[in-house]
């Protein structure tokens, strides 16, 4: 079956729309820039087959505050999310959120930090269910262009030998969680307080990752290393 745009349940579609609208409003109130793809959000949901669907979204934060960055340099951030749902329940079976941080100066643009947050319901046994991984990967050029990212990146850079594959266990950092942290980390306290209050009522409508395996692992034994249940799919 070929992938095609699909209409998600109203509670899922409206939750994504309202989180992104609250984010846009907060960014505008802070006199900052948020650039989104031109296509409407509902077209970002695609049916893969009869049992799954995928949401893909990307946005560009241009000239965001960074306490450590001296003028005239500026910080640009690009976020790409791929979230997979199990149908018909529309629970979250997988979420990967990529975040690229760029420093822009008179000498050009430089990728200074790249990471992604991952959750895979049935992932490899040596991967925590929820984790962040530091990388040197740039979000694909087509995705960057879709957000009106017009900076010229250096040519194909040589792979950084220092990057390792350590995956650090985290809470469930889905797209909504990453947006929440971006507001907290970069905007003023009053902006964050307003955003947090606005999105609080939306939380219960966002598709939640499956915690059933983690629940079983925790119930199996109360004696475990800190965060070992993030490897719960290793438990038989």
Mean pLDDT in each 10-residue stretch from start to end of the chain (236 residues)?
A: 80 94 96 91 89 95 90 94 93 94 91 91 78 90 92 69 75 92 95 94 86 66 58 57
Domain housing 17:
4-209
- Please report whether residue 235 resides in a domain: no
Tell me, what's the pLDDT at 164?
67
Say how many domains are in the chain. Answer: 1
Q: Per the confidence metrics, is the pTM higher than 0.85?
A: yes
The answer to whether residue 197 sits within a structural domain is: yes
Residue 220 located in a structural domain: no
Q: Is residue 233 part of a domain?
A: no
> For position 1, what pLDDT does the model report?
40
Contact 122, 91 (CB under 8 A): no
| 3-state percent breakdown (helix, strand, coil) of the chain, nearest 5 | 30, 30, 35
Strand partners, 74: 104
Q: Look at residue 109 and tell me if it is in a domain.
A: yes
> Among residues 56, 127, 55, which one has the least CA distance to residue 87?
55
Say if 151 falls within a structural domain.
Answer: yes
Q: Which helix (H) or strand (E) holds 191?
A: helix 189-199
The confidence score (pLDDT) of residue 235 equals: 54
Asked whether residue 178 is domain-assigned, the answer is yes
Cβ density class 198-216: b for 16+ within 10 Å, e for less: bbeebeebbbebbbebbee
Partner residues linked to 5 by β-bridges = 46
User: What local confidence, expressed as pLDDT, does residue 36 receive?
Assistant: 92
Tally of CA atoms within 13 A in the half-sphere of 10 that contains its CB: 0
Q: Specify if 41 maps to a domain.
A: yes
């Amino acid at each position: 079956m070929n992938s095609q745009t699909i209409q998600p349940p109203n509670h899922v579609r409206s939750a994504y729309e309202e989180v992104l609208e609250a984010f846009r409003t907060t960014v505008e109130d802070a006199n900052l820039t948020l650039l989104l793809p031109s296509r409407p959000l509902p077209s970002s949901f695609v049916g893969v087959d009869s049992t799954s669907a995928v949401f893909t979204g990307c946005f560009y934060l241009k000239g965001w505050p960074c306490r450590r960055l001296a003028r005239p340099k500026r910080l640009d951030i690009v976020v790409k999310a791929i979230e997979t749902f199990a149908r018909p329940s529309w629970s979250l079976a997988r979420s990967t959120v990529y975040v690229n941080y760029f420093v822009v100066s008179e000498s050009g643009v430089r990728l200074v930090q790249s990471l992604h947050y991952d959750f895979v319901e049935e992932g490899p046994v040596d991967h925590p269910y929820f984790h962040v991984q530091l990388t040197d990967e740039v979000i694909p050029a087509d995705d960057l262009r879709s957000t009106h990212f017009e900076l010229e990146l250096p040519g194909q850079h040589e792979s950084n030998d220092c990057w390792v594959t350590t995956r650090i266990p985290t809470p469930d950092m889905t797209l909504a969680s990453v947006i929440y942290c971006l507001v907290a980390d970069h905007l003023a306290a009053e902006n964050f307080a307003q955003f947090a209050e606005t999105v609080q009522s939306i939380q219960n409508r966002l598709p939640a990752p499956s915690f059933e395996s983690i629940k079983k692992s925790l119930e199996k034994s109360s004696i475990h290393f800190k965060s070992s249940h993030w490897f719960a799919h290793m438990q038989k």
